[in-house]
């Protein structure tokens, strides 16, 4: 069969970039055949070299710019693009916010939901150094233990010292731990042979409390020179309140293993969010951008228009962040979460904040919602903050059967949000106010948003 693609691998072409894909790649077309190109912006004329040709699209790389976009800014470091740490670093921040608003709108339009209005994205004053958690691989490169991040779509480590979007105190902590591991000749993990000691270093830091947790994720059960390494960390990093060894001895891509050993200090650190205190363990899910999380959750609470006598359900409650923030405005909150440890944390967080009108259950959200529904629970408002895959259709069925006045949907993936909104529409729930995107992950393609569905 004759080849129909209008481009060939390794050939160069002059193209104009028409759009940005949801992955932040420039999109050009030759005879209506799309070419996806890194570090290219709408309106730019470029020379592109084709690097890969698929059946219905191709990938290319910029060899030279003929014209550049007024929205282009100088790359801070090309490693941030190569690793995907900051895929939008070449785009002005105001243009990043517009890109995210557009992404949310496009995903609704794809499903024919053209009447959904999307507000401008709420951004940050300083869209760098915002992450309160880092998880970096430890590998041997040219005979030396290094920390950094993987090149996209590979397990090749690029050594990085300043991560640009992480709290700078976290970057410093990673280097202190890296240097101690080098000093005591601790073997980094070798993926190919499943040998070596340390796989990853995880660091968490409270935005308000400045309490720091260091987690050494190891393949081996024992770390050589543990006492000296712990003493070195505590001497150089006075903010450290918790040092933990997480043992992950399986041959797996999962970051953490099932066993946590406290090497020094406490098994949790604390921080505050919307004026409430939270204990955060090594495995807790806790939003990574504290400044924007407060905006996101406050927005969700405001849009819910809660009343004193309301009963609320928080599906995917995690360690209780939304549940506890909502509890002070309503009569009762029921939270459900699949991770047992998170539910223990949520109960502990309710206790330390002296909040008694909450009840947490460890279960799959869709199963628990169905159980609550058959038990006759009638919430006034349901909050959902699901993972990227969105909501299970059975959960949507259960929510609709409970007949709440409002469903407040906090989403981290506009594509699954749009799909779920369409499913809710079939149950009589509609959007009556604009969707509000919030830039939780500046310099990256990801966007959070708050959507309110009403009967």
Examine the domain organization and report whether 177 and 211 are in the same domain: yes
Would 77 be classed as within a structural domain?
no
Would 118 be classed as within a structural domain?
no
Domain total for the chain? 3
Would 99 be classed as within a structural domain?
no
Examine the domain organization and report whether 269 and 296 are in the same domain: no
Examine the domain organization and report whether 178 and 40 are in the same domain: no
pTM over 0.85: yes
The CATH number for 233's domain is 2.40.50.1070
* Mean pLDDT for the stretch of residues 70-86: 95
Report the C-alpha gap between 42 and 165 in whole angstroms: 24
Half-sphere exposure of 425 (CA within 13 A, CB side): 15
Domain boundary among 213, 238, 273: 273
Domain boundary among 42, 72, 102: 72
Strand 381-384 to strand 406-411: parallel, antiparallel, or no bridges (unpaired)? parallel
Would 85 be classed as within a structural domain?
no
Task: Compare 97 and 283 and report the one with higher pLDDT.
Answer: 97
Examine the domain organization and report whether 44 and 166 are in the same domain: no
pLDDT of 284 = 87
Examine the domain organization and report whether 268 and 349 are in the same domain: no
String of b and e for 107-133 (b: at least 16 CB within 10 Å)? bbeeeeeeebebeebbbbeebbbbbbb
- Domain range for residue 233? 133-273
Would 123 be classed as within a structural domain?
no
Examine the domain organization and report whether 51 and 21 are in the same domain: yes
Examine the domain organization and report whether 450 and 303 are in the same domain: yes
Examine the domain organization and report whether 250 and 358 are in the same domain: no
Of the pLDDT bands very low, low, confident and very high (cuts 50, 70, 90), residue 285 is confident
Q: Is 157 exposed, middle or buried (0-12, 13-18, 19+ CB in 10 A)?
A: buried
The residues assigned a catalytic role are 412
Examine the domain organization and report whether 379 and 422 are in the same domain: yes
Would 101 be classed as within a structural domain?
no
Of the pLDDT bands very low, low, confident and very high (cuts 50, 70, 90), residue 253 is confident
Smallest CA-to-CA distance from 442 within 31, 76, 19 is with 76
Instruction: Describe the crossing of helices 365-374 and 393-402 by its angle, rounded to 10 degrees.
Output: 30
The CATH number for 39's domain is 2.40.50.140
Would 301 be classed as within a structural domain?
yes
* Each residue's pLDDT tens digit, 134-157: 999 999 999 999 999 999 989 999
Strand 240-247 to strand 212-218: parallel, antiparallel, or no bridges (unpaired)? parallel
pLDDT of 2 = 55
Q: Is the pLDDT at 314 greater than 70, yes or no? A: yes
Examine the domain organization and report whether 50 and 142 are in the same domain: no
Would 89 be classed as within a structural domain?
no
Ramachandran bin of 79, using left for φ above 0, alpha for ψ from -120 to 50, beta for the remaining angles: alpha
* Each residue's pLDDT tens digit, 173-216: 999 999 999 999 999 999 999 999 999 999 999 999 999 999 99
* Mean pLDDT for the stretch of residues 156-171: 97
Examine the domain organization and report whether 244 and 201 are in the same domain: yes
* Each residue's pLDDT tens digit, 382-434: 999 999 999 999 999 999 999 999 999 999 999 999 999 999 999 999 999 99
Strand 212-218 to strand 198-205: parallel, antiparallel, or no bridges (unpaired)? antiparallel
* Mean pLDDT for the stretch of residues 338-342: 90
Examine the domain organization and report whether 331 and 439 are in the same domain: yes
Domain boundary among 273, 301, 324: 273
Strand 58-65 to strand 33-37: parallel, antiparallel, or no bridges (unpaired)? parallel
The CATH number for 423's domain is 3.40.50.150
């Amino acid at each position: 069969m004759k080849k129909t693609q209008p481009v060939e691998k390794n050939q160069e072409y002059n193209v104009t970039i028409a759009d940005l894909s949801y992955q932040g790649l420039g999109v050009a077309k030759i005879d209506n055949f799309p070419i996806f190109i890194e570090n290219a912006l709408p309106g730019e004329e470029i020379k592109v070299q084709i690097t890969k040709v698929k059946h219905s699209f191709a990938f290319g790389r910029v060899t030279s710019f003929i014209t550049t976009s007024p929205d282009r800014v100088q790359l801070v470091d090309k490693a941030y693009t190569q690793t995907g740490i900051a895929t939008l670093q070449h785009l002005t921040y105001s243009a990043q916010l517009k890109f995210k608003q557009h992404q949310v709108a496009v995903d609704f339009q794809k499903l024919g939901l053209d009447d959904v209005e999307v507000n401008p994205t709420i951004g940050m004053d300083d869209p760098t150094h915002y992450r309160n958690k880092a998880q970096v691989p430890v590998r041997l490169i040219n005979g030396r233990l290094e920390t950094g991040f993987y090149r996209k779509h590979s397990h090749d480590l690029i050594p990085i010292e300043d991560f640009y979007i992480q709290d700078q105190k976290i970057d410093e902590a990673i280097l202190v731990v890296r240097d101690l591991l080098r000093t005591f000749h601790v073997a980094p993990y070798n993926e190919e042979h499943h040998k070596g000691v340390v796989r990853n270093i995880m660091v968490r830091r409270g935005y308000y409390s400045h309490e720091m947790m260091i987690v050494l994720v190891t393949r081996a059960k024992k770390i050589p020179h543990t006492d000296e390494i712990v003493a070195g960390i505590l001497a150089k990093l006075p903010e450290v309140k918790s040092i933990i060894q997480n043992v992950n001895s399986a041959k797996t891509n999962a970051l953490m293993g099932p066993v946590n050993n406290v090497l020094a200090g406490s098994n949790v650190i604390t921080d505050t969010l919307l004026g409430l205190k939270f204990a955060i363990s090594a495995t807790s899910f806790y939003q990574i951008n504290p400044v924007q999380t407060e905006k996101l959750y406050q927005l969700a609470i405001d849009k819910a228009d809660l009343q004193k006598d309301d009963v609320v359900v928080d599906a995917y409650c995690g360690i209780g962040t939304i549940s506890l923030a909502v509890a002070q405005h309503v009569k009762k909150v029921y939270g459900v979460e699949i991770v047992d440890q998170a539910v223990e944390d949520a109960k502990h967080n309710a206790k330390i904040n002296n909040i008694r009108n909450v009840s947490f259950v460890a279960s799959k959200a869709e199963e628990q919602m169905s159980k609550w529904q058959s038990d006759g629970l009638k919430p006034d408002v349901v909050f959902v903050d699901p993972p990227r895959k969105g909501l299970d259709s059975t959960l949507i069925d259960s929510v609709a059967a409970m007949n709440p006045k409002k469903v407040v949907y906090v989403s981290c993936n506009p594509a699954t949000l749009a799909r779920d909104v369409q499913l809710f529409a079939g149950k009589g729930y509609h959007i009556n106010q604009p969707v509000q995107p919030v830039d939780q992950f500046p310099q990256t393609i990801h966007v959070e948003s708050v959507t309110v569905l009403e009967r």
